[in-house]
């Protein structure tokens, strides 16, 4: 009797392993097949979608695609909301409402809500859970629910080369310059100059670079050393193994 139980137990484990592998293989296939590109746009008809751009599967809420333009080599993570207009099936005119430059990265679970024009410059990277909106609720009338009052909209502009950290919020009217760093969880409104680091809610400038003085306050860590041209991954792994061996000898 124990032998039979062991046989049944082994078969159960085997079935679970096979089912697990099948589920993961199926999910990987769905991720590949469900991704949106210029060659395979699915049901989405963007105003433009550049070469090498990819929207990961599953996509979040997407509407107003004719007024959304995506540049080349953009990476849009899973469950990212991209919307133009306050609701689907509106005629928003001839000009785009949401424009992403080349090489823009939008992390998973982020939301970009363009009821007025939003422009994100080339090579700007956004971490997961970022919220960028050109519309905000108004609460002028104290006798009406906030959600029923007509919202306010202002264009948003994010310059090239910016980094927007996890969970940051970019509010209507914000204008970020070139190579701005937005700390995780920051809430940004108003204008941010080039080469600035902002943090907090509301966000304020905590560090800035000027040609005459460099970074102020000064950076606390040295700049990373770039990998020399021509170094292969195999050589890097060899150097890492050598460093580990030397470290072990010193212990």
φ/ψ of 2, rounded to 5, equals: -55, -35
Nearest to 189 by CA among 155, 215, 150, 139: 155
Q: Which of 24, 51, 137, 143 is catalytic?
A: 137
CB atoms within 10 A of CB 6: 10
Type and span of the H or E element at 13? helix 2-34
CB 127 within 8 A of CB 107: yes
Residue with tokens 């029923």: 148
Distance between CA 237 and CA 43 in Å, rounded? Answer: 43
| Rounded alpha-carbon distances, angstroms, from residue 232 to 75, 172, 224, 225, 240 | 25, 45, 18, 16, 13
Mark whether 143 is an active-site residue: no
- Rounded alpha-carbon distances, angstroms, from residue 87 to 44, 92, 113: 16, 11, 10
- Catalytic residue numbers read 137
């Amino acid at each position: 009797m124990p032998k039979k139980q062991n046989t049944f137990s082994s078969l159960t484990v085997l079935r679970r392993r096979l089912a697990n592998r099948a589920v993961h293989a199926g999910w990987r296939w769905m991720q590949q097949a469900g991704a949106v590109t210029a060659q395979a746009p699915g049901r989405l008809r963007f105003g433009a979608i550049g070469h090498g751009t990819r929207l990961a599967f599953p996509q979040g809420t997407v509407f107003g695609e004719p007024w959304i333009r995506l540049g080349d080599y953009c990476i849009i993570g899973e469950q990212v909301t991209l919307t133009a207009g306050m609701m689907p099936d509106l005629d928003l005119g001839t000009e785009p409402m949401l424009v992403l430059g080349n090489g823009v990265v939008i992390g998973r679970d982020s939301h970009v809500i363009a009821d007025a024009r939003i422009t994100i410059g080339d090579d700007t990277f956004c971490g997961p859970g970022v919220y960028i909106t050109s519309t905000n609720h108004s609460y002028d009338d104290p006798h009406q629910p906030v959600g029923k009052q007509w919202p306010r909209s202002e264009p948003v502009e994010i310059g090239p080369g910016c980094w927007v950290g996890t969970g940051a919020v970019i509010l209507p009217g914000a204008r970020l310059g070139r190579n701005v760093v937005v700390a995780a969880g920051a809430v940004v409104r108003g204008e941010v100059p080039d080469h600035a680091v902002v943090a907090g809610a509301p966000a304020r400038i905590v560090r800035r670079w000027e040609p005459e003085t460099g970074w102020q306050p000064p950076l606390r860590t040295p700049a990373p050393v770039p990998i020399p041209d021509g170094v292969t991954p195999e050589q890097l792994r060899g150097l890492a193994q050598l460093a580990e061996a030397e470290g072990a000898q010193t212990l």
